């Protein structure tokens, strides 16, 4: 046994976040206002989009994106099964049915364009793609399919602040892109999220839906810019707030440096694991500028994953699984799903190892050493 703990993820808050939050507290305006607007502008500049709306979390972002695109009862939305359950839960909130697609291969764990094609029916209205671990989906192929079949594309970019395809940031390819600022994501405000829309009309709809379908927000009324409001749609309370916006602004400034640190640690893992049998890192061919959100590995066929996780735990090493396929969950058993061979294999053999910007290189050596001891070489 040992007494050290190597965590899967960690936050990089310091005196700068503390100062930013204190300033907001002392300003005595806490709900969505000018700090949120400033953050939206700064995040928009970073990803190169004028239409960014901060919201309470990425799940709310996905829900609002789908409603703003008119998805409802009786529609079908194609999503990967190999993702966090929020992706498909958001579809169900609208009354539409999620239809599960497979991932590309044992090396590329993003949604397969061929699988999407095979699942299209006359009820299909949209596709949600997930940039797994920050690795971009094949957006060129996906946008071509969408155009051909008149489908909307929503990008779940929860893992991807700091991931580009060429010079275009992920989340800006489809009709809407959704980001998460949850505590274990690359930039965090505790809870939080953002939607990027690809045009003004969708953006305006989302702004109203985020706050009860009202035509003005409290900030404007408080400051005498507006005296009345109308309610024009069935909206929600999915607002962001100033404390989170203050945190997110500081985290955005740190994002590139933190992602570079993730990239270095990712490369070090790749080096050390190169000659270890029974453990391989996917996306071997990707040299893109990406966020390196996760350090996922594929275990060998005969490894007992749960037993391995328990052993790693006893060495003080936290591990996880991203993700158990959604179609296996009890609450999804009633959904008819086509065979998803790659999802079954990867879902059964994926293991997530610790990765964050402050992870010490000697801790990576220790993790790899323990993996070697647990997996017969
Ligand atoms: C974290 C995550 C979400 C949900 O984000 P929240 O901000 O926690 O609602 C959605 N999709 C994926 C792929 C995620 O990893």
For residues 296 and 294, give the distance between their C-alpha atoms in angstroms, rounded to a whole number.
6
Cα-based angle 269, 251, 12 (whole degrees, multiple of 5):
50
Q: How far is the CA of 191 from the centre of ligand 1 (A)?
A: 10
Phi, psi of 167 (to 5 degrees): -105, 10
Substitution site in 81, 89, 156, 163 for ligand 1 pocket (most atoms within 8 Å of beta carbon): 156
| 293 Cα nearest atom in ligand 1 | 15
pTM over cut 0.85: yes
Q: Nearest CA to 350 among 323, 312, 313?
A: 323
**Predicted local distance difference test score (pLDDT) of residue 224:** 78
Q: In the CATH scheme, what is the code of domain 15-251?
A: 3.40.640.10
Q: How far is the CA of 242 from the centre of ligand 1 (A)?
A: 21
Element (H, E) at 154: strand 152-156
Q: Measuring from atom 2 of ligand 1, which residue has the nearest CA?
A: 158
Q: E-assigned strands of 250-359?
A: 279-280, 295-299, 350-353
Q: Six-digit token pair at 36? A: 């949120």
| 191 Cα nearest atom in ligand 1 | 7
Q: Nearest CA to 134 among 267, 317, 293?
A: 293
Residues recognised as catalytic:
185
For residues 250 and 230, give the distance between their C-alpha atoms in angstroms, rounded to a whole number.
35
Cβ partners under 8 Å of residue 377, min gap 6? 276, 277, 278
Q: Quick: pLDDT tens for 57-103.
A: 999 999 999 999 999 999 999 999 999 999 999 999 999 999 999 99
| 62 Cα nearest atom in ligand 1 | 10
Q: How far is the CA of 91 from the centre of ligand 1 (A)?
A: 14
Cβ partners under 8 Å of residue 251, min gap 6? 12, 17, 181, 187, 188, 189
Q: Domain segments of the chain: what residues? A: 15-251, 256-374
Backbone dihedral region for residue 3 (phi beyond 0: left; psi -120 to 50: alpha; all else: beta): alpha
Q: How far is the CA of 34 from the centre of ligand 1 (A)?
A: 25
Q: Quick: pLDDT tens for 324-333.
A: 999 999 999 9
**Predicted local distance difference test score (pLDDT) of residue 285:** 79
Q: Provide residues with CB under 6 Å of ligand 1.
A: 57-59, 83-84, 86-87, 130, 156, 158-159, 180, 182, 193
Q: In the CATH scheme, what is the code of domain 256-374?
A: 3.90.1150.10
SS3 assignment, position 114? helix
For residues 353 and 250, give the distance between their C-alpha atoms in angstroms, rounded to a whole number.
27
SS3 assignment, position 94? coil
Q: Are 131 and 159 a contacting pair, CB within 8 Å?
A: yes
DSSP of 175-229, one letter per residue? Answer: SEEEEE--TTSSS--SS-EEEEESSHHHHHHHHHHTBTTBSS-HHHHHTTS-S--
| 184 Cα nearest atom in ligand 1 | 1
| Positions of the chain with pLDDT under 50 | 1
């Amino acid at each position: 046994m040992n007494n050290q703990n190597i965590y899967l993820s960690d936050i990089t808050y310091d005196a700068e976040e503390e100062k930013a939050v204190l300033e907001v507290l002392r300003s005595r305006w806490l709900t969505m206002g000018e700090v949120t607007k400033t953050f939206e502008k700064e995040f928009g500049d970073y990803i190169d989009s004028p239409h960014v709306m901060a919201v309470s979390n990425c799940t709310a972002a996905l829900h609002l994106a789908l409603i703003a695109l008119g998805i409802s009862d009786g529609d079908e939305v194609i999503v990967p099964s190999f993702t966090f359950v929020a992706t498909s839960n958001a579809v169900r909130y609208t009354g539409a049915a999620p239809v599960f697609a497979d991932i590309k291969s044992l090396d590329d764990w993003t949604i397969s364009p061929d699988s999407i094609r095979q699942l299209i029916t006359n009820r299909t209205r949209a596709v949600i793609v997930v940039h797994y671990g920050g690795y971009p989906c094949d957006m060129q192929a996906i946008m071509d399919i969408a155009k051909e079949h008149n489908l909307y594309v929503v990008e779940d970019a929860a893992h991807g602040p700091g991931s580009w395809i060429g010079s275009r940031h992920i989340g800006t390819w489809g009709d809407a892109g959704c980001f998460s600022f949850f505590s274990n994501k690359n930039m965090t405000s505790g809870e939080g999220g953002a939607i990027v829309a690809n045009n003004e009309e969708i953006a305006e709809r989302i702004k109203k839906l985020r706050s009860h379908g009202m035509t003005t927000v409290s900030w404007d009324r408080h400051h005498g810019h507006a005296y009345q409001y109308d309610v024009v749609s069935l909206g929600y309370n999915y607002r962001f707030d100033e404390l989170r916006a203050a945190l997110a602004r500081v985290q955005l400034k740190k994002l590139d440096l933190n992602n570079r640190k993730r990239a270095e640690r990712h490369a070090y893992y790749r080096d050390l694991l190169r000659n270890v049998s029974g453990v391989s890192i996917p996306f071997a061919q990707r040299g893109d500028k990406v966020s390196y959100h996760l350090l996922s590995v594929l275990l060998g066929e005969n490894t007992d994953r749960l037993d391995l996780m328990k052993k790693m735990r006893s060495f003080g090493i936290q591990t996880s699984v991203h993700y158990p396929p959604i179609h296996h969950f009890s609450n999804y058993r009633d959904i008819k799903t086509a065979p998803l061979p790659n999802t079954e294999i990867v879902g059964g053999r994926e293991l997530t190892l610790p990765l964050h910007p402050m992870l010490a290189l000697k801790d990576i050596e220790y993790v790899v050493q323990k993996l070697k001891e647990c997996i017969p070489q």
